[in-house]
Amino acid sequence: MTEINEQKVTGDFSMYFGPAHPGSGNFSIKCEMRGERVLKATADPGYLHRGFEKLMEYREPMQNAVLSDRVCVLEPLQWNLVHAEAVDYLMEYEVPERAKYIRVILAELSRIQSHFIWYAAMSLGTGFMTGFNIAIGYRDYILDVLNLITGGRVYPAGYICPGGVRKDLPEKAENKILELLPKIDYMRKFALKQNPAWLARFKEIGTLTKEEAIKFGAVGPILRGCGVESDVRRDDPYEIYDELEFDVPVMDDGDAYARFTVGMQEIEESMKIITQSIDRLPKGEVKTPNLKPRVQFQKAEGEIYIRNELSRGEGAFYMVATGQKTPYRVKIRGPSFTHMIPIIEHLLTDVAYADVPAIYWSMYQCPADVDR
Amino acid sequence: MKLGIVIEVVKNVFTKPMTVLFPFEKIEIPERNRGEHEFNIDTCISCGACARICPNLAIEMVEVPSELREKYPKTYPQVDLGKCCFCALCEDTCPKESIKLTTNFYFATFDKDDTILYPVKAE
C-alpha cells in the first residue's frame, strides 16, 4: 500500500530570482527551495518580448536593418551583420571587399565589448563592484570608437546594411581602433587574474558535461567551455573569416570559470582578427553599386537560413521573400534561448541559492534575444 | 601582489580621470553622431521620401502655417522626436540633402510640444 506522507516541511518554499532582482535582467527563474538549497528551477521568460519576427514582415529590408540592432542590445552590430547577409543573398548583392573587412572589424569590436559586459555582469552578480565598474569603463573606450564610426554608441542603426555598410570609415578610424587594442588587452588581463574570491565563486560551480551540452543544444563559449571545438567562423566561414588566422579557445572543465575563461581568451583572438583586417583593409567602395536607400524584395524570391558566430554563440536568420516589398517570413534563432531555458533549469538543480547568480551569469545570457 | 596594488594606486593618482565635470565641461561629440534633425525648407522639393522610409512613422508631411503658405505652398516634413529612433535613413534618402542629423542630443523636456520639429515656424 502506498504511504502518503502528509507531513509538511516548513523549510520548503518557492522563491523568484528576478525579474525585479538587481542582477537578473529582464528574466525570471522560479526556484523551489528547501532551506538554502534550490531543488528545482523553472525558467520564466517573456518580459522582453517585442515580436521582431512579425514586425519585420511589415517593414522593408533597410528598415529591418535598423530594427535588427534591437534583437540583442549587447551585440547589435553582429545582429546587423546576420540580417544584412540574409538580404544580400536574397537580393543577390555583390558586397565590395572593403565593406566585408569593415563588417568584420566592427563585428569583432562588438564581440569584445559584449564580453566586457559579461565580466561586468558576473562581477555584479557576485558582489564584486570594482570589476563591474572597471569593465564598463573600458567598454566605454570601445563605444567611443563605435560612435565615431557608426554615429551611435550602442545602437548603430543598421550601419552594417544590406549591400555593404552605410558609410565608409571616417578619417583616422583605423588608428583609433589600433590605439584601442592595448586598453582592451589590459582589461582582458585584469579579468583573467587568478583572484581567489573569483575562483571561490566560479570554480567547480554549474558544471555542464560535454554530452549534456550537446544534448541541450549549447552553442558558443558555453559549448567551447565544455570541451567541444565549435565555431561558425571556422566551421562555416562567412565574410572574410576564411582568410584570417585565429584560434578557437576550448576548455574541458565545463564549469562557470571555464566558460568565462573561454570568453576572455576569445577577446585575444578577436584582437588578432582586428589587427589582420586593418592591415589588409583594401581601398574602394563600401556599398553595392546603385544601392538605393529603399531596398525592396520586389524582384527577389526564395528562402535563406544564414548563421553567424555571435558573442553568445550561433545566431541565425531565416528569411523568405516572395516578390513583395517586405519579407514574407522571418525567423530569428537567438543563441541564448537554449542556454536560458533547458540548460539553466538543468544546472539549477540541487545547488545553493547563493550560487544561482554565479551560474545564471556564467551562461552569458541576453534576455532580449531569448524573447526577441 | 601587494606591491602591484601600490603601483596601481600611484599610477591612478597621476592618470587623467575618465569622466568630465558636466555641464561645465563636455566631451567632444563625433561629427557622425545622430542627434536632432536640421531641416532646410528652401531646398526641400516635397517628395516625401523621408516620410516613406521612416521606420517609426515619425515624419509627417504637413502644410506650413497659413501666413507662409504663399511662399511654401507644398507639404513639408514634420518630425516627432518622441517617435524618432535616430536611424538617419531620412538623411540618406533625401535627394536634396535638405534633412540632416546634427550632433545635438539634449532633448530633455517637460513639454510634449517641444518634441515636434516643425518645418518652419510662423514669425
pLDDT of residue A277: 92
In a domain, B5, yes or no: no
Do you find a cis peptide bond into A162, omega within 30 degrees of 0?
A: no
> Tell me, what CATH number does A311's domain have?
1.10.645.10
- pLDDT, mean of residues B67-94: 88
State the pLDDT at residue A4. 54
**B114/chain A closest Cα distance in angstroms:** 23
Q: What ipTM goes with this model?
A: 0.84
Are the C-beta atoms of residues A316 and A82 closer than 8 Å to each other? yes
| Residues ≥6 apart with Cβ < 8 Å to A63 | B53, B55, B89
Number of domains in chain A: 1
Q: Give the number of beta-carbon pairs within 8 Å between A and B.
A: 53
Which positions in chain B touch A196 (Cβ < 8 Å)? Answer: none
Residue A115 has pLDDT above 90, yes or no: yes
Q: How far is B121 from chain A (nearest CA, A)?
A: 29
Q: What CATH number corresponds to the domain at position B60? A: 3.30.70.3270
Q: Does the pLDDT of residue A116 top 90, yes or no?
A: yes
Q: pLDDT tens digits for A327-350?
A: 999 999 988 888 888 899 999 888
Q: What are B41-69's pLDDT values in tens digits? A: 889 998 888 998 899 999 999 988 888 88
pLDDT at A104 over 90: yes
Q: ∠ CA A30-A35-A39 to the nearest 5 degrees?
A: 45
- From residue A361, alpha-carbon distances to A92, A122, A124, A138, A300 in Å are 40, 5, 9, 20, 42
Chain A residues in contact with B33 (beta carbon < 8 A): 147, 151-152
In a domain? residue B25: no
Q: Residue B86 falls within a domain, yes or no?
A: yes
Q: Provide the pairing of β-strand A160-161 with A12-17.
A: unpaired
C-alpha cell at B3: 606591491
pLDDT band at A79; cut points 50, 70, 90:
very high
The band of A272, judged by pLDDT with boundaries at 50, 70 and 90, is very high
- Please give the pLDDT value at position B1: 57
| B30–A170 CB contact, under 8 Å | yes
Q: What is the pLDDT of residue A7?
A: 60
Look at residue A371 and tell me if it is in a domain.
Answer: no
Cell of A225: 567551455
**Contact (CB<8Å) A170/B53:** no
Residue-level pLDDT at A306: 92
Look at B86 and A157 and tell me if their CB atoms are within 8 Å.
Answer: yes
Confidence band, pLDDT 50/70/90 cuts, at residue A85: very high
A227 contacts chain B (CB < 8 A): no
- What is the arithmetic mean of pLDDT over A317-330? 90
**Residues 6 or more apart whose Cβ sits within 8 Å of residue B53:** A60, A62, A63, A293, A294, B89, B90, B92, B93
Does residue B32 carry a pLDDT above 50?
yes
Please check whether residue A253 lies inside any domain of the structure: yes
pLDDT tier at A267 (50, 70, 90 boundaries)?
A: very high
Residues of B in contact with A66 (CB under 8 A): 55, 85, 87, 89
Query: Under 8 Å CB-to-CB from B70, ≥6 apart: which residues?
Result: none
- DSSP-assigned beta bridge partners for residue A322: A301
Which chain A residues touch B19 with a CB distance below 8 Å? none
User: Model confidence at A1, in pLDDT bands (50, 70, 90)?
Assistant: very low
Burial class (CB in 10 A: 0-12, 13-18, 19+), A123: buried
Secondary structure class of A153 (helix, strand, coil): coil
Q: Would you say residue A194 has pLDDT above 60?
A: yes
- Cα A358 to Cα A123: distance, rounded to the nearest angstrom: 9
- C-alpha cell at position A180: 584601442
**Residues A167, A161 contacting (CB under 8 angstroms):** no
Please tell me the distance from the alpha carbon of residue B59 to that of residue B83, in angstroms, as a whole number: 9
Arithmetic mean of pLDDT, A307-328:
90
| pLDDT 10s digits, A137-184 | 899 999 999 999 998 888 998 899 888 898 889 888 889 999 999 999
Confirm whether A323 is domain-assigned.
yes
Q: How many domains does chain B have?
A: 1
Judged by CB atoms closer than 8 Å, whether chains meet at B86 and A152 is answered as: yes
Nearest residue, CB atoms, A151 vs list B34, B52, B85: B34
Q: Is residue A125 part of a domain?
A: yes
Would you say A127 and A361 are in contact if contact means Cβ atoms under 8 Å apart? no
Give the model's confidence band at A15: pLDDT under 50 very low, under 70 low, under 90 confident, else very high: confident
CA–CA gap between residue A229 and residue A135 (Å, rounded): 27
Of chain A, the percentage scoring pLDDT greater than 90 comes to 31
Q: Does A160 touch chain B (CB under 8 A)?
A: no
Its domain, for residue A335, covers 12-286+294-361
The parent domain of residue B65 ranges over 31-117
Is A225 part of any domain?
yes
